[in-house]
Amino acid sequence: MVETRPTRMSFELEQRLPGGLRLPTRMTALATRSGVVLVSPIPIDDRIAASIAELGDVSALLAPNLLHHLYLAAAKQRYPSARVLAYRALETKVPGLTLDHPLDDGLPEDLREDLRGVLVDGAPSVSEMVLFHVPSRALVVTDLFFHVVRPVGIVTHLVLFLVGCHGRFAQSRAWRFFVKDREKTRASARAIAELPFDEVVVAHGEPVREGAKEAVVRALSWMLGRP
């Protein structure tokens, strides 16, 4: 466990990707009135499962974009009664995956008191949903922002430097290729910036606990159309 709050926990592993890229990858467990939602599941052993159980019963497994799904099937095996929440396009990408609720339709009604979801629209190859967890007032993002303060390995240093995310909270320049409709993306960025969050939890790197709102607006400057 790398972070714990009364209504939220985070767990991290080092993801080793082709070419020598090594990224910290975080799963966030969010307590809601309808049970615990696991965002971006990672491998869950008995120790992690016991920690999650302190928050409550796992009711949903959420793949927040089309890239964070590697351990979704394993998480479903551990929590067979949990609903799988993901975008429909993931069913094509991951053979055998069955969705219980497509995020294309927004979050399930029973979660909306405690979770708000904003699709980063206009970037269909990623289709990321940013989450605002009401009980902990946290913005939970996946690949929209990075905050890898201490990169590991030469390749990781180089890649993060090239995409503009080396050692700081920032948005990868890769989004400039992902975005196909600037107007839709701008509207999404505005909606994200207006959420009443106090901190930011990222899938790759350290949370932002101070000056979170200013950091997000600054990182969204390209999407917002600001200099």
Of 45-49, 107-111, 156-160, 194-198, the range with the lowest mean pLDDT is 156-160
Which sign does the torsion angle of CA 188, 193, 194, 200 carry? positive
Directed axis angle between helix 182-193 and helix 212-219, to 10°? Answer: 170
Q: Which residues contact 50 (CB under 8 A, 6 or more apart)?
A: none
Separation CA 79–CA 57 (nearest Å): 9
- CB distance 125 to 177 below 8 Å: no
Domain boundaries, the chain: 3-224
Q: Give me the residues paired with residue 3 across strands.
A: 10
Q: pLDDT tens digit string along 133-175?
A: 999 999 999 999 999 888 888 998 998 889 898 989 999 999 9
Q: pLDDT tens digit string along 83-129?
A: 999 999 998 888 888 999 999 999 999 999 999 999 999 999 999 99
- CB distance 204 to 148 below 8 Å: yes
Separation CA 203–CA 39 (nearest Å): 9
Given this model, what pLDDT does residue 1 score?
A: 60
Mapped onto helix, strand or coil, the DSSP state of residue 160 is helix
Q: Is the pLDDT of residue 15 over 90?
A: no
Q: Write the class of the CATH domain 3-224.
A: alpha beta
Whether the pTM exceeds 0.75: the reply is: yes
DSSP string spanning 193-212?
HTS--SEEEESSB--B-SSH
Given this model, what pLDDT does residue 51 score?
A: 96
